[in-house]
Structure 1
Amino acid sequence: MNWKYSRREFPIEVVNIDEDGVHIVCKNRLAPGYWWIIDTGASTSVIDTNCSDHFEIVFESTTQAAVGVLENQVETKKGNAQIIDIEGHLFENIDCVVIPLNHVNEIYQTQADIKICGIIGCDLLVDNKAVIDLAKLKIRLKNIR
């Protein structure tokens, strides 16, 4: 996974989702109007099936069942997003799963008036030694190549 720009931090926002508590989000500038959820509890980054046309994804030939952010168990597609954008900062070659996030989007659109394109998981955060600073509403990355 490579980071394309040398800037080491980007802004985040905190949104209150009544039923699910407080969530951290940030904008996806390559897909205007869409946001990422920053989820330290997600082991893998996720792209919403409904937004996958905004990304160049190379899919693996196998699919697998997934449970977690989903209401029910569904088939997922595993792949590699060639580029993803977090607040204007581009990451290359991000392993991800592609699943429908319809129920997640329903909640976020209803309660925060934002559309979700996916979830930035611990894989990307750990690889880049991310520090989430809620006082300054920023994420700093320490492992930039």
Structure 2
Amino acid sequence: MQIKLNCVGIAIFRSPTEKTAWKISPAISQSVVEIDIWKKGDLKIEHLTVYRSGWIIVDQLPDFSGYNQDEGVNIFEEFEFEEHQLLDGSQETAVFPKELPLEECDRLMALSEAELVDEGWTIESATRFNGPLLVEQV
């Protein structure tokens, strides 16, 4: 197996045989973040879930020349893949607008996604891999 490190902190592992699939994962634990942004009018609620690890399988080796470790990459926007896994959600945080009373924040946290939609909230989601990435031929 050959290992190649490029200038943006991505370790690429190549097997001597030709294969067409690549497994991409963060090299550092807790570098997978799922971000749900709920919006209603001028209000915005951010819900973050940090995962211990995760991976995706892609058919072609992506171009990582513009990859920024601090910003990371939104895996659902940047890659086409059929397999992925997020492992062990370890931390959840919700950030509410300051103008919402605490009781309303608690009420909203208790609602399901369907109930939030019924109340007029819309969602934008992103799942990001941050930091150095491991890319392995599988």
TM-score, normalising length: structure 2: 0.24
Larger-Rg structure: 2
Task: Kindly indicate whether structure 1 or structure 2 has the higher relative contact order, using CA contacts under 8 Å at least 6 residues apart.
Answer: 2
TM-score, normalising length: structure 1: 0.23
